[in-house]
Amino acid sequence: MDVTECDVPTGSVLDRALVENSDYHDSYRVRLSHRDLGIVDIFFRIFAHLPFPAKLILIVRNSFASLIGLEAPSASEVLHVEIREHYAVGDKIGVWPIYFLGENELVAGRDNKHMDFRLSVLKVFDGGAASVVVTTVCTVRNRFGRYYLRTIVPFHRRGLQRLLANAVAGDRL
């Protein structure tokens, strides 16, 4: 099972204008072996399994971001992912606030001084097969946001592909 780069699915609740006018967006698709998984379960089966080195990088990045006045998750939030029974719009899932939560799609993200981003996890059906598509959309607000985005994109792309591939290899999806 491969991780495949794809277009933002037309069935996503992500606003088309937001995607088209964004400074960056990407989408990656993997097949679901476990079709019965709910969207919150899919989210955690991908994002609650960060390798420890990635967690350390996030903690350092978030510490720096906090020092310059940006909203960022704490080290405790990165190291200890809280998984609850129920989620609703406005709650935090992992380290991000939820903007939309439906049966087959979850949109989380963060608005900050330098950049806004949205992360969509969408369960899609292709005839008898099911897949999950993870989409990231980033809109920068200032020069620092442009610099940050340009710096982080290569790591983001590789990291997200690796998270998805690991979830498939670990039979979590």
Model-level pTM? 0.90
Q: What is the pLDDT of residues 35-86, one digit of tens each?
A: 999 999 999 999 998 888 887 777 787 777 777 766 777 777 766 788 898 9
Collapsing DSSP to helix, strand or coil, 26 comes out as: strand
DSSP structure string for 92-153? EETTEEEEEE-SSEEEEEEE-SSEEEEEEEEEEEETTEEEEEEEEEEEE-SHHHHHHHHHHH
> Domain 4-169 has what CATH class?
alpha beta
CA distance 124 to 162: 20
Q: What is the pLDDT of residues 95-106, one digit of tens each?
A: 899 999 999 999
Q: What is the pLDDT of residues 112-169, one digit of tens each?
A: 888 999 999 999 998 889 999 999 999 999 998 999 899 989 999 999 999 999 999 9
